[in-house]
Amino acid sequence: MTTDADPTTADATADPYAAPGRETTEGTVYTVTGGDWDDLLEVEHDDRIVINMGPQHPSTHGVLRLVLELEGETVTQGRAVIGYLHTGIEKNCEYRTWTQGVTFVTRADYLAPLFNEGAYCMAVEKLLGVEVPQRAEHLRVLLWELNRIGSHLVALATGGMELGALTGMTSGFREREEVLHLLEFLTGLRMNHAFIRPGGLAQDMPEGWQDKVRDFLKVMNSRLPDYDRLLTGQPIWRQRLEGVGYLPVDGCLALGASGPILRSAGLAWDLRKHMPYSVYDQYDFEVPTATEADCFARYRMRVAEIHESLKIMEQAVTKLDELGPGRVMVDDPKVAWPAQLSVGSDGMGNTLEHVRKIMGQSMESLIHHFKLVTEGFHVPPGQAYAAVESPRGELAVHAVSDGGTRPVRIHVRDPSFVNLQTMPAMSEGGQVADVIAAVASIDPVMGGCDR
């Protein structure tokens, strides 16, 4: 009579998932647990080693898995495995009204939520055939550039963290807190704002917003030179990034890359300049470029773009002062909700005056309010494509309507999804340690990639 071995005393190598010499589609798997390198080297095998990097590794931003084939320290093949953060954002939009869809798309690229909202709302506005008030357009530009600064600061901070420049990380997140504080003051939330709505904005700016923005501009302009002293001119930082992750302009175009990746290769392609949307054609700013096409050039692009965004924000405040008070939502009661209301004590835009009117004075107003909130507004049948220049490149939304109160289809052209295709081209032939620098310079946000 035989009995099964006690599992507590069984050899760890008996584990079918960790057994040495296990055959997989990638080849033989060798498990190294420490102290057994001699045993591993005695086994006959070729010099090819396949390793997983992620999805827990910091350089993969949490939820990206890289499968790397190595010969020694050299990467011979790299593949990105995505889908770990899939949330069904696009599909969920089909089961919500056009206004409710904003609260879904804002969570895609969560470091640049206002760009998601802007592209989505621009597509809906094309279908509606409405024109957004000028005050709302300039406020959108102000919020977009503020959001761009915050996103680039995260790219600098996480890039520094992944490469060991921890002071760069703490400085980047310190400045990003300034951005988030201002966004919270202007929109009510630090992120996932749902502030840009079809037809305009959820509400106007709070009292004293100009002073807050000018204070922010003063702080950022005083602190940005520190990054040149801390990183740009730092010999170790330069040696770690220069010549690493090289991807020339023809490679960028072949792979569909956009944003700082494309501009670091010498092509000054920026939708704000070359396919102007909103009121960007009324603003004076430059499109920074470089020709080195490496990780250091992409770092420099983001620092330069922060300077340009600060210039645009300053111009936006001046233009809004000249423009004076005005509407921030289209003057159409069938679309304009809840932007036509002021924020009340309930935090949802229902002032006491409005509640008093719809509850006690006008049954028609109550019915209209109820239908607009629960059912939503009808959008004429058709399809529209709207693109914006997000911090990572071309971000676009393709919206399809059948004339109902919900989208038939919402598709997001997310730059992180497209730009990730550049990882193998940047990494193959280089050192495994340089994969971290290359991925950091791509600055992917997996919420937008997987969406």
Among 171-180, 330-339, 421-430, the minimum mean pLDDT is found in: 330-339
DSSP lists the bridge partners of residue 48 as 71
Interior CA angle at 8 toward 7 and 14, to 5°? 55
The pLDDT of residue 124 is above 60: yes
Distance CA 416, CA 20 (A): 37
Q: Is residue 175 part of a domain?
A: yes
Q: Are residues 203 and 247 in the same domain?
A: yes
Where among 57, 81, 105 does a domain terminate? Answer: 81
User: Of 348 and 322, which is predicted with more confidence?
Assistant: 322
Residue 13's CB is within 10 A of a number of other CB atoms, namely: 12
Peptide bond between residue 338 and the one before it cis (omega within 30 degrees of 0): yes
Q: Is residue 65 part of a domain?
A: yes
Q: How confident is the model at residue 33 (pLDDT cuts 50, 70, 90)?
A: low
Distance CA 263, CA 273 (A): 13
**Which whole number is the average pLDDT over 227-245?**
89
At residue 141, what is the residue type?
V
Q: Is residue 20 part of a domain?
A: yes
- The pLDDT of residue 26: 61
Could you tell me if 397 and 412 are in contact, meaning their C-beta atoms sit under 8 angstroms apart? yes
Distance CA 249, CA 266 (A): 7
SS percent in the chain: helix, strand, coil, step 5: 50, 10, 40
Q: Are residues 329 and 274 in the same domain?
A: yes
Q: Are residues 249 and 204 in the same domain?
A: yes
Q: Are residues 153 and 48 in the same domain?
A: no
* pLDDT tens figures, 206-231: 899 999 999 999 999 999 998 888 88
Residue 24's CB is within 10 A of a number of other CB atoms, namely: 8
Among 44-48, 101-105, 188-192, 267-271, the minimum mean pLDDT is found in: 44-48
Crossing angle for the helix pair 363-374 and 352-360, to the nearest 10 degrees: 110
The pLDDT of residue 347 is above 60: no
Q: Are residues 167 and 207 in the same domain?
A: yes
Q: Is residue 341 part of a domain?
A: no
Give me the chain's average pLDDT, please: 85
Q: How confident is the model at residue 51 (pLDDT cuts 50, 70, 90)?
A: confident
Among 51-60, 62-71, 84-93, 200-209, the minimum mean pLDDT is found in: 51-60
Q: Are residues 208 and 306 in the same domain?
A: yes
Could you tell me if 348 and 338 are in contact, meaning their C-beta atoms sit under 8 angstroms apart? yes
Cα–Cα distances in Å, from 206 out to 76, 79, 346, 423?
55, 47, 17, 43
Distance CA 392, CA 154 (A): 12
CATH number, domain with residue 212: 1.10.645.10
Q: Are residues 98 and 21 in the same domain?
A: no
Residue 4's contacts (CB-CB under 8 Å, 6 or more residues apart) are none
Residue 293's contacts (CB-CB under 8 Å, 6 or more residues apart) are 246, 247, 248, 249, 252, 264, 265, 266
DSSP lists the bridge partners of residue 397 as 386, 412
Distance CA 111, CA 420 (A): 17
**Which whole number is the average pLDDT over 28-41?**
59
Q: Are residues 301 and 327 in the same domain?
A: yes
Number of domains forming the structure of the chain: 2
Distance CA 403, CA 128 (A): 10
Where among 28, 56, 81 does a domain terminate? Answer: 81
Among 62-71, 231-240, 262-271, 430-439, the minimum mean pLDDT is found in: 62-71
Percent of the chain with pLDDT over 70: 82
Q: Is residue 5 part of a domain?
A: no
**Which whole number is the average pLDDT over 374-399?**
93
Crossing angle for the helix pair 134-162 and 209-227, to the nearest 10 degrees: 30
Domain residues for 43? Answer: 12-81
Q: Are residues 48 and 116 in the same domain?
A: no
**Which whole number is the average pLDDT over 180-196?**
91
**Which whole number is the average pLDDT over 29-58?**
63
Residue 346's contacts (CB-CB under 8 Å, 6 or more residues apart) are none
Q: Is residue 291 part of a domain?
A: yes
Distance CA 444, CA 390 (A): 12
In 3D, which of 429, 433, 419, 424 has the Cα closest to residue 155? 419
Please spell the DSSP secondary structure of 345-406, one letter per residue. TTSSS--HHHHHHHHHT-HHHHHHHHHHHHT-----SEEEEEEEEETTEEEEEEEEE-SSSS
Distance CA 131, CA 199 (A): 7
Q: Are residues 51 and 166 in the same domain?
A: no
The pLDDT of residue 12 is above 50: no
* pLDDT tens figures, 250-288: 999 999 999 999 999 999 999 999 999 999 999 999 999
DSSP lists the bridge partners of residue 69 as 50, 77
Tokens of 78: 């790299």
Where among 81, 109, 137 does a domain terminate? Answer: 81
Antiparallel, parallel or unpaired: β 74-81 and 65-71: antiparallel
Q: Is residue 420 part of a domain?
A: yes
SS3 of residue 409 by DSSP:
strand
Q: Are residues 159 and 231 in the same domain?
A: yes
Alpha carbons within 13 angstroms on the beta-carbon side of residue 112 total: 31
User: Tokens 């190598």, residue?
Assistant: 13
The pLDDT of residue 391 is above 70: yes
The pLDDT of residue 39 is above 90: no
**Which whole number is the average pLDDT over 22-32?**
65
Q: What is the pTM of this model?
A: 0.85
Q: Is residue 338 part of a domain?
A: no
Crossing angle for the helix pair 432-442 and 295-323, to the nearest 10 degrees: 10
Q: Are residues 77 and 99 in the same domain?
A: no
